Structure formats: structure tokens, C-alpha cells
Amino acid sequence: MMKQKETFKDSKKSFEKALKKASNEKYVLRLYVTGMTPRSSRAIENVKKICDGELKGRCDLEVIDIYQRPMLAKGEQIIAVPTLVKKLPLPLRRFIGDLSDAERILLGLDLKPKK
């Protein structure tokens, strides 16, 4: 029983340490969209809310219209849009859709602990 409490304390300390480290990391995000469709506009708005709210000053967001720059989408092997790609910090992650599920995005960006 006592060993479980120690393990919980250790995991809590590890999480807090990782969270502190993450709070200093710069995020590099690329959002691939198709023109200014309603779905693309929603995705841009949703990602900007996350950047402004959770990543204040620690986020480089590049919005790429695949109609104007198709080679970038090809190089990243983008097969659906909108797609958000987290380049840094590693690991690389991809999110597809209008990004309206902020909780899922925050979990995927490692900005919220998994329950």
C-alpha cells in the first residue's frame, strides 16, 4: 500500500517537472487548409484560440493554403484538410478536422494531462 503512494508521488513529481519544461518549450505548428472554406476558417480560428490561450508567446503558427502551395502539402503527405501538424516539440503529431474539440487537441499537444 505504501509503495503505491510513493509511486503516485513520483508520477506527480515527474508530471510537474515535465509540465514546467513544456511551459518553456516553443511550439511549431503548421495548419494546412483549402482556401477560405467555412471548415478552414473554423480550423484557423480554433487553432488561434489555442495558441493565444495556452501557448502565449510560445507558438509559431504557419497557415498553408494547399491550393496556393501544393508542394508543401505533398512533402508532408497531407491527405485530408484541415490538418494541423505539430512539428516541435517532438514527437510530431497530426490532427485532422476543424479542430473544434479543444480538449483533444490540448491532450495531443501535451498541454493537458491524460486522465
CATH of the domain at 39: 3.40.30.10
Q: How far is CA 20 from the centre of its chain?
A: 17
The total number of structural domains that make up the chain: 1
Query: Considering the domain boundaries, does residue 69 fall inside one?
Result: yes
103 neighbors 112 (Cβ within 8 angstroms) = yes
pLDDT value at residue 63:
97
Domain holding 56, by residue range, is: 26-108
Query: Considering the domain boundaries, does residue 11 fall inside one?
Result: no
Q: Which three cell numbers stand for residue 84?
A: 494541423
Query: Considering the domain boundaries, does residue 13 fall inside one?
Result: no
pLDDT value at residue 55:
93
pLDDT value at residue 19:
56
- pLDDT tens digit at each of 115 positions of the chain: 445 555 656 666 666 665 565 567 899 999 999 999 999 999 999 999 999 999 999 999 999 999 999 999 999 999 999 999 999 999 999 999 999 999 999 999 998 877 6
